[in-house]
Amino acid sequence: MEIPIEDFYEDVLAKSARGLGISTTQLSEQSGVEKAAVREALRGNFVEDEARKMAPVLGLNSEALVLLGQKSWRPAEVDLNGLAVFNSPFHDMTVNAFVLWDPSTKKAAIFDSGADATDLLDFVSKQGLDVQGIWITHTHGDHIADVNGILKVIDCPVYVGEKEYANFGESFEAGRNFSVGCLAIETRLTWGHAKGGVTFVVNGLERPVAIVGDALFAQSMGGGMVSYEAAIETSGKEIMTLPDDTVVCPGHGPLTSIAEQKVANPFFAGKY
């Protein structure tokens, strides 16, 4: 199943304007785009010239914003032994969960649960994987909706970043490292979208993998629900500086890579 791009042109405009506290009137005045046209852009009407004028006001990369508006780009497909993605519907969107495992020992790690972990559990059973734990990127409801469903089938610990709102699992401080078979799991604090969002950087497979939650999407990001400034800063520092071939596993939308997001993500392109 092809997972659709999570955010559209209008979503990125709205997230950046909201995060920076820029009103429609201010965006019009500072960009030179007519106010009515700005309103239409925020409804999804893409005009390249307008996008290029608004991008610098919103701190966005103009080339990447145009690419998003043209709806002409998709990340390359990822086929990596030891990585599986599970996408389940949640209200009007879909949400991802991931399983990573050591192909030699079958020891495995689950990252988030998604809205429905049925397919994930079926995969784990059929592959004979030995799950060592569930690691949570952040505790927004769509990402942890079926944690209890997993625990009914698999007896394993659940790890939750200490700065997150949680009444379950084992708390850990970002910076702590874990190991699962040949997999080395590094934890990095990427907050802003969530109070204590964590990115898990996993080495040990043919390519490095970053499970980022909503800190980064293909062509977008989750938005600064707690702090837009922190979301931009921590995702840039902790994710966008990873090796170019790193597989990025976002909480929503398709898998991508750091190299691709250096070109295609309006929030970060041209900065790394």
Domains and CATH numbers, the chain: 9-70 (1.10.260.40), 83-264 (3.60.15.10)
What is the distance between the alpha carbons of residues 87 and 142, in angstroms, rounded to a whole number?
A: 11
Q: In 3-state terms, what secondary structure has residue 175?
A: coil
What is the distance between the alpha carbons of residues 256 and 78, in angstroms, rounded to a whole number?
A: 8
What is the distance between the alpha carbons of residues 178 and 211, in angstroms, rounded to a whole number?
A: 14
Q: Per residue in 38-83, pLDDT tens?
A: 999 999 999 999 999 999 999 999 999 999 999 999 999 999 999 9
User: Are the beta carbons of 96 and 87 closer than 8 angstroms?
Assistant: yes
Q: Per residue in 229-243, pLDDT tens?
A: 999 999 999 999 999
Any idea what DSSP says for residue 204? Answer: S
Q: Per residue in 101-110, pLDDT tens?
A: 999 999 999 9
| Bridge partner residues of 200 (DSSP) | 187, 211
DSSP H or E segment with residue 172 = strand 170-172
> Is residue 175 scored above 80 in pLDDT?
yes
